[in-house]
Amino acid sequence: MSSAYGKIPKPTLMTDLNTVLPISNTLRNGTKTMIQKVDAENKSLCAYLHARFNAELEAGSTYPQEELLNDQQFRDYFLAYDAFVMAKDGLIEPNTNYDWDDKVVGMFYIKPNYPGRCSHICNGGFFVMDHYRGLGAGVVMGEAFKVLAPAIGYKASLFNLVFENNPASIAIWEKLGFQMVGRIPKAGRLKNSPDRLVDALMYYYDFETPAEKQ
């Protein structure tokens, strides 16, 4: 379930991520945040991320899955390649108890979008916790994505399904210089638009071309 093409090898790492991470920033309300890799051995953290992601699937308006994911499916889908978490007030330390609702601001993954000759193009999936929405967390994670993806070894990114009735997501990618390169008509049966099939937009970013030339 890690991709529609099965398991795809990662690209050759271009930069030691320890030289890039953690990435710190401040949200619009003054909250200090840090982005770090998800520790897949932190069972409490992963269980929280899994539950929150399933709640988003159940809401049925942003991701294409209709069924909730079990633990292995979540790991295969969200954690199998490079997954990151944005935390409030410092890093998530191992063997430490947290109030995850307070600590976790958001999460995202980076993984290959296509196999073989096209595996230099990545995909990303982003999720901001409900109580931190509207504070700029999505933009912060998008900016981090533009740093981390080429460091991992990807040359470009394509988001396949940005639903047209998700103006917050569209605003983030256009603000960060992603190009809308395609539209998939009637792509999604979404709970927030029960009377119609919703078009999906495709957003592309070339990591090898300066932003001002895209």
d(C-alpha 31, C-alpha 135), whole Å: 9
Residue 201's pLDDT is what? Answer: 98
Q: Indicate the pairing of strand 82-88 with strand 32-37.
A: antiparallel
Determine the Cα angle at 51 with ends 64 and 68, to 5°: 40
| Residue of 190, 185, 193, 198 whose CA lies nearest to 62 | 190
Question: Can you give the residue ranges of every domain in the chain?
Answer: 17-213
Q: What are phi and psi of 134, to 5 degrees?
A: 85, 10
Instruction: Tell me how far CA of residue 82 lies from CA of 31, 34, 105, 189, in angstroms.
Output: 25, 16, 18, 29
Would you give per-residue pLDDT tens digits along the chain (214 residues)? 445 667 888 888 888 999 999 999 999 999 999 999 999 999 999 999 999 999 999 999 999 999 999 999 999 999 999 999 999 999 999 989 999 999 999 999 999 999 999 999 999 999 999 999 999 999 999 999 999 999 999 999 999 999 999 999 999 999 999 999 999 999 999 999 999 999 999 999 999 985 656 5
Residue 5's pLDDT is what? Answer: 67
- In the three-class reduction of DSSP (H, G, I as helix; E, B as strand; rest coil), residue 161 is classed as strand
Residue 3's pLDDT is what? Answer: 54
- For the domain made up of 17-213, give the CATH fold: Aminopeptidase (3.40.630)
Q: Which two tokens stand for residue 47?
A: 């269980």
The secondary structure element, H or E, covering residue 5 is none
> How many other CB atoms are found less than 10 A from the CB of residue 29?
9
Residue 209's pLDDT is what? Answer: 83
Residue 4's pLDDT is what? Answer: 60
Residue 12's pLDDT is what? Answer: 82
Residue 13's pLDDT is what? Answer: 84
Amino acid at 75: R
Residue 96's pLDDT is what? Answer: 92
Residue 1's pLDDT is what? Answer: 47
